[in-house]
Amino acid sequence: MRSTCSSSLRPFSRSLTLGSFAVLATVTLTACQPDKGPGSVVVTYVLGNSKTCEEVGVTEIEATLFRGSFEEPSRSYSERVPCEMGEVELDGVEPSNYEVRVVGFDEDGFATFDNLGQNTSQRTVEVFEAAESDFDADLTARPADLLIRWRLGDQGFGNCTGVGIARFEINAYEVGGGTLLLSTLLDCEQAGGDDGYRLVPDPARVLNGVSFGEVGIQALAADGDDVGLPATFVFDPVGAGYPVRLGIECTQAGCISE
């Protein structure tokens, strides 16, 4: 950052003492030092193809600057504003490089838009000493979240080995079941959250909440063989960012929908 100060020393008379000149020079140099202190970031955002907040149902925007992981940052700054504001200002930010996460929430509090469609380099900002940095965020519709939980054994208290299941093959389809969106495996031993659900990874963000409408879950033995028939689910699309929670009950004969 450049200092806005310029030297204003004029030719001095011979009557000016050396000591007086030294004091004047010290004051002038001190005044020319760059400003110190925290900086700020102004985040501006665009929703999809320049849509209005009302058109896409977004009511609030939250911008977060963070270092480290988003879930457990070593340092973070966050601010939430009404969507119509058009920008989010974060003040008092320690100078450094930060990743920027911008999320749009609907009236029910669900995160329906975010800037994770931008690549990592487009989601970073550098904050300077006592200066304002600008950041532009392109927000697009979030994929739906697919969450799966399973009960093992006739009473739901069994374990993976006891029912002969090692993994679950998850296949997600568009409405109608003809177009495959995502196929992945979940380990049967994978721990669930407090409610028992496991989030199905969707790194390519293909679970479009407007078209995603069917899921098949096939239990697999350790050698890769099918355990019974797949449990299938058909449902109405939930919309951008909303969760699809599915449960299955499994025995040695296979799994059925919960």
Same domain, 90 and 153: no
**Is residue 217 included in any domain, yes or no?**
yes
**Is residue 31 included in any domain, yes or no?**
no
CATH at 211? 2.60.40
Same domain, 202 and 177: yes
| Angstrom distance (rounded) from CA 94 to CA 142 | 30
Choosing from 110, 141, 172, the residue where a domain stops is: 141
Same domain, 158 and 253: yes
pLDDT value at 19 more than 70: no
Same domain, 149 and 248: yes
Same domain, 135 and 45: yes
**Is residue 34 included in any domain, yes or no?**
no
Residue 34's pLDDT is what?
Answer: 60
pLDDT band at 57 (very low <50, low <70, confident <90, very high): very high
H-run or E-run covering 204: none
| Angstrom distance (rounded) from CA 29 to CA 54 | 53
Contacts of 23 (CB under 8 A, 6+ apart): none
Choosing from 116, 141, 166, the residue where a domain stops is: 141
Which residue, among 143, 147, 170, has the nearest Cα to 246 in the 3D structure? 147
pTM above 0.85, yes or no: no
β 145-152/243-251 pair status: parallel
**Is residue 14 included in any domain, yes or no?**
no
Choosing from 123, 141, 159, the residue where a domain stops is: 141
pLDDT band at 217 (very low <50, low <70, confident <90, very high): very high
**Is residue 4 included in any domain, yes or no?**
no
What six digits make up the tokens of 186? 């979940």
In tens, the pLDDT along 148-157 reads: 999 998 767 7
Same domain, 44 and 95: yes
Residue 74's domain comprises 39-141
pLDDT value at 222 more than 90: yes
Q: Write down the mean pLDDT value for the chain.
A: 90
Same domain, 186 and 250: yes
How many domains are there within the chain? 2
